Structure 1
Amino acid sequence: MKKNIPLAVILVIMLMTFHISYSQTKKTEITLTKLWETDTILKTAEAVRYHPGKDIIYVSNIGGLPPNKKDGDGYISLLSKNGKIVKHDWVTGIHAPKGLNFFNGKLFVGDIDTVVEIDVETGKIENKHPITNAVFINDLDIDTNGDIYVTDSQDEKIFKLVNDESSLWLDLKGFYPNGILVEDNRILILSSSKGELITIDKITKEKTVLASGVRGGDGIVPINEGYILSAFQGEIYFADKNMLNTPAIKLLDTRANKLNAADMSFIPKENILLVPTFYGNTVVAYKLDYK
């Protein structure tokens, strides 16, 4: 038996369908407003990481150039959340520290061909983990079980460090991997040459392009809506997590001010993006807002 559907019900269904369609297609609009910038006493600031438990920002300083020289003049600095230098030379004697992250009370730092392990409480270097066949470790991230993944930008590979044993995880010839972000089932890699942000399945190692157009790609920061990406020459982009193989949206361009944008970090509760400026020898904080 055929039933007639009331006009009011049809209108409600149409409005719900429109709302769902609009929500799926509406683009996230993000703005960045500068909050503070440190004094220029940092030396080739390459990466930052915010530690929520200590409310402190950790900065890796390469020191003198080139960034692959084993000269022992690299160091780690500590900053407060308002950009004040808490300890300029908290850890010294590292060659050219770059990517860094925390796990179980330790700070792990990529240093050319080694991952340096530092006790967060004492600032003491407790171990140095050589990465076999690594040439230029750039960034690193750590899985929830403590496995460490590092990008080798020069030799175009990803290595994995487990229980002090390193191994080749994936060869990425032609991609020049730089930024890395480890998620539950996949790993995100940002290319410094192709301008692509790709996802790699941890099991199958199948690759998917998430975003493009970030030439000189450097750092990856996850936010609720997707990812903030930095381009070394001084640009910052947004990639929507619900979009595949689409151009990233430029949020900021500091090239005219000769400020680079290297390996960033984020303070989630306050929506603050932290950007090391490399040759600018500073860290800059931006407030992330939505239109």
Structure 2
Amino acid sequence: MNLLLIICSLLSVQFAFAQTKTLEKLWETTEGIHVPESVLYHDVTDKLYVSLIGQGGTDKGEIAILNTDGSVEDPHWITGLNAPKGLAIHKGLLYIADVTKVIVVDIVTSNIVDEMVVEGATFLNDVTVDNNGIVYISDTRQNKIFQLRNGKISVFLDSVPSVNGLKYYNGKLLALAGKEFWSIDANKQVTVFTKAFEQGGDGLEPLGNGSFIVTCWPGLIYHVSAKGDVEKILDVQGKMNTADLGYNPKENVIYIPTFNSNSIIAYKLK
């Protein structure tokens, strides 16, 4: 019996080792990239939309467009923003979290079609859209998630500590709340999916099989299994930041904005 337990344990260790995720660096782009905070891959246009906070403060923020090979298509696609962060696209509209406003851009015409002030907001950080077009925006400093519905903005959920990354997925609103990963249902019931991160979470992307990639701004990238098991796959703390990532499911590539290192890095996820 003891021998059987040992064999089972060894097999379990081997299986776990086989599941270990690795990252292979494909390219790094620095041209025109100044303090990138978020990358969004859009499968319809096959482009990368990048929010650039910029150096120098107010009205220096921009949205750039990159190709999936790392070449820069337009470093100044949308200009005159403040400190744009999270991005989401729904039915041809790009939603941008920009400090205290939600900016809406028509991605075909490149025109800003709406600009909404979020009353009470101080640090809007990420944004996501559900299947019905309802927009959710996190405010990290106010510990709140706002909701944009039928043209009106209201508080969806408060007391969400240091809430940052958001993603609507499989009927749930997923949120990175400090070092915890929350799943929030339609009745606003919260389930803590996992809480094993070393630092506060920044960006999250579903991989399509129930698992996720999560980044933490100080320089950490994690794989989170469908069961909530957390595996650190990159630790570059003290060397560069790993902000709000983008994910290309067709190529299984993640795109990391390095913030203070002023670049975008693409990694093949293996």
TM-score, length-scaled by structure 1: 0.83
Of 134-143 and 234-243, more deviation after overlay is shown by 234-243
Q: Does 1:102 align with 2:89?
A: yes
Q: Does 1:129 align with 2:116?
A: yes
In structure 2, runs of 5+ residues without a counterpart are: 1-7
Please give the residue correspondences for 1:28-177 in structure 2 after superposition, counting only pairs within 5 Å.
28-64=19-55, 71-173=58-160, 175-177=161-163
**What letter corresponds to residue 182 of structure 1 in structure 2?**
Y
User: How many residues get paired?
Assistant: 257
CA distance 1:111–1:50, change in 2 (3 Å): same
Task: Work out which of the residue numbers 234, 250, 256 in structure 2 matches 1:252.
Answer: 234
In structure 1, runs of 5+ residues without a counterpart are: 1-17
Q: Does 1:197 align with 2:197?
A: no
Q: Distance in 2 between matches of 1:225 and 1:95?
A: 35
Q: Distance in 1 between matches of 2:219 and 2:97?
A: 22
Corresponding position of 1:6:
none
8 Å contact kept, 1:151–1:180: yes
1:230 partner SS: strand
Identical positions, percent: 35
Please give the residue correspondences for 1:229-244 in structure 2 after superposition, counting only pairs within 5 Å.
229-243=214-228
2:250 partner SS: helix
2:22 partner SS: strand
Which digits, 9 at most, give the CA deviation of each residue in 1:162-212, with x for residues without a partner?
122000011125x210111112332111133xx111212221423323342
8 Å contact kept, 1:152–1:178: yes
Which digits, 9 at most, give the CA deviation of each residue in 1:131-177, with x for residues without a partner?
2211110001000111000110011100000122000011125x210
Which digits, 9 at most, give the CA deviation of each residue in 1:15-59, with x for residues without a partner?
xxx9xx97xx85732111100000253111000101111111110
Q: Does 1:279 align with 2:260?
A: yes
8 Å contact kept, 1:110–1:138: yes
When Rg is computed on C-alpha atoms for both structures, the one with the higher figure is 1
Q: Distance in 1 between matches of 2:200 and 2:130?
A: 25
Task: Work out which of the residue numbers 187, 205, 210 in structure 1 matches 2:173.
Answer: 187
1:279 partner SS: helix
8 Å contact kept, 2:182–2:190: no
8 Å contact kept, 1:44–1:62: yes
1:48 partner SS: strand
1:234 Cα deviation from its structure 2 partner: 1.0
1:225 Cα deviation from its structure 2 partner: 4.3
**What letter corresponds to residue 71 of structure 2 in structure 1?**
K
**What letter corresponds to residue 284 of structure 1 in structure 2?**
I
Q: Distance in 2 between matches of 1:148 and 1:107?
A: 11
TM-score, length-scaled by structure 2: 0.90
1:95 Cα deviation from its structure 2 partner: 0.8
